[in-house]
Each structure stands twice: as C-alpha cells, then as structure tokens.
Amino acid sequence: VTENGAVLFRSSSAIEVQQEFARKYISWNAFNDRQTFALKMLEKELHKANEKISKIEFELSQREGHSKYKVYADLIMANLWQIEDGRSEIILKDFEGKKEVLIPLKKDFSPQKNAERYYRKSKNEHLEIDRLKAELQHENKRRSQIEYDLARTGDARSLRDLPELTTIKSTSTEKDVPFKVMEYEGFEIWIGKSAESNEVILRKASKHDIWLHARDVSGSHVLIRNREQRSIPSHVIETAASFAAGHSKRKSEGLVAVIYTQRRYVRKFKGARPGQVKVDREEVILVPPRQKVE
C-alpha cells in the first residue's frame, strides 16, 4: 500500500506478499542510492560550473577594454625620438598627458622592435578574449543542462525516471591509453606523456587529425581528433596549441610558437628517435602556455 492508500499488490499467499515486498524494497533501495549519488554529483558539477563561469567572466572583465599591450606599442611609436637603445624600461606620459605609464623593454630590441613585440601581444590578447567568450558560452550551456538534469533527477520516482547524466564526464574516454585525453568544444584532444607516448599518438592518428607541437623545442605531441573531417574552429586550434606550449620546455614563457598541420604531413624518417618526426607542411601560431582546461 502506498502513502496515498493505493494497493500495489494483493495476494492470499503470505510467501508471495513477502517476495513482492522484497522485490519492491530492493528496487526502491537501488533507486534511492542512485538518485542520492546523482544529485550529489550534479550539485558538485553545478558548483564547479558556477565557479568556472565566475572565473571566466572576471578574466574577461579584466581583459576587455584594457589592452595595455596596444597602449604600450602606441606610446613607444609616438615617442621613438626619446627612447634610447639598450633600455630595460621607460616611463612615458599617456596620450591625455595625465598619467605616467611604466613600459618594460627588451634591452636587445630597438624601440621599433619593442613596439612590434607589444603589437603581437595585443593581437594574441584579442585571440584570448575570443577564446574566453567561446568558453563562457560553452560553460553556460553546460550549466543549463546540469540544472535541467538536477530538476529531473529530483523529480524522479523510479529508476526509469532518472535521466542519463551526460553532464558528468570523465576527463579521459579511454582509461588505458598511454596519453592524456581531453574533450573541448566537442573535439577530443590527445596529449603525449613521453616520447613513447608520442609514438602511440602518431600510430593511432588519422590523416585528417590536426597535429601540433611547440616549435624548435622538445615537448609533447598534441592531436585534435577529426575523423569526421569537420571544420575545426580557430579557438579550438588555439586551445590545443596552448596545451602543446604548456607541455614543452617553453612552458614558463609568456608566448610560445606552436606549429600545426594535418597528420598526413607528419612522417617518421630513417634513424629518427622515438617521438622525432619531419613535418612537410606547417602553420605557426603564437599562444600562451596552458596545461589543462581550467
């Protein structure tokens, strides 16, 4: 009998009543355990999503409208006549003449080269803003799905009613693979852990996958899986490139040059050591190093 007084099972046999009660009790326990676990995990995921969204929004607010690198470059170009070679910094008045701006300089660069360097940094700053906006949009969609799953899970009254929780994911889709596997914007990204791991990535990759590596330095092979031959958004390539930079010997630098190309243009050559390859065609991108999706 339910709380509302409805009869769920009726029999004149005490044994049948006991068996049915046992089945109902076991089923209810299984449902209750799974529902409790799902609610706990979803609440945890929602908390993480909210924290991540707040972090991205804060970073965007700090970056948007405050391109200090472009200001530095413009001020240097406007004051070339008073900047001597070999200086490590200079203090210049802003364009309104109200504030003093301290600009760090590379001693071995001419004033023009220092300006070019800051213009490049400004360009990459805009790329980072675009990446953050795309990541914020993705995370907002994910938060909405988590909230929807939470509501459905809380309203469920049986195992059949519990939704499939697609918002709770492992960071790796293959536990036994010898390389790191990440998912970003619907694309699977592989990151090598060693020279031998890099070899496995090369063997498993398809020819249309995008292969990335920090330029002219040792580091991990990174791969964007593209078996469906989709058009890969530039911010996905930039993110994968930042992983390649973050898993290289240049991971402590501000910006790192990373090469990328389709896997079919990457080949082994006679006498090559594990992980060593020759690239027949490549493009180069400058990115800040990262080691994971924050």
pLDDT per residue, tens digit, the chain (294 aa), is 444 556 555 667 777 767 666 666 666 677 787 788 888 888 988 998 999 899 888 888 876 655 678 888 899 999 998 888 889 999 998 888 888 989 999 999 999 999 998 888 777 677 777 778 888 898 899 899 889 888 988 888 777 777 766 555 444 444 446 888 888 877 889 999 999 899 999 999 999 999 999 999 999 999 999 988 888 988 889 999 999 999 999 998 888 999 999 999 999 988 888 888 999 999 999 988 987 654
Number of H helices, E strands in the chain: 5, 10
User: Whole-angstrom Cα distance, residue 60 to residue 139?
Assistant: 14
> Do 72 and 101 touch, CB atoms closer than 8 A?
yes
> Do 247 and 143 touch, CB atoms closer than 8 A?
no
What is the number of other CB atoms lying within 10 angstroms of the CB of residue 52?
Answer: 17
| Phi and psi angles of residue 261, each rounded to the nearest 5 degrees, phi first | -165, 170
> Do 189 and 183 touch, CB atoms closer than 8 A?
yes
User: pTM score > 0.85 for this model?
Assistant: no
Coil, helix or strand at residue 125: helix
Mean pLDDT of the chain: 83
Residue among 224, 242, 221 at smallest CA distance from 233:
224
User: Whole-angstrom Cα distance, residue 146 to residue 138?
Assistant: 13
User: Whole-angstrom Cα distance, residue 91 to residue 77?
Assistant: 14
How far is residue 71 from each of residues 57, 91, 96, 169, measured CA to CA in Å?
A: 23, 13, 12, 42
Angle between helices 111-155 and 14-63 (to 10 degrees): 160
Q: Which residue has the tokens 């592989």?
A: 190
User: Whole-angstrom Cα distance, residue 148 to residue 34?
Assistant: 17
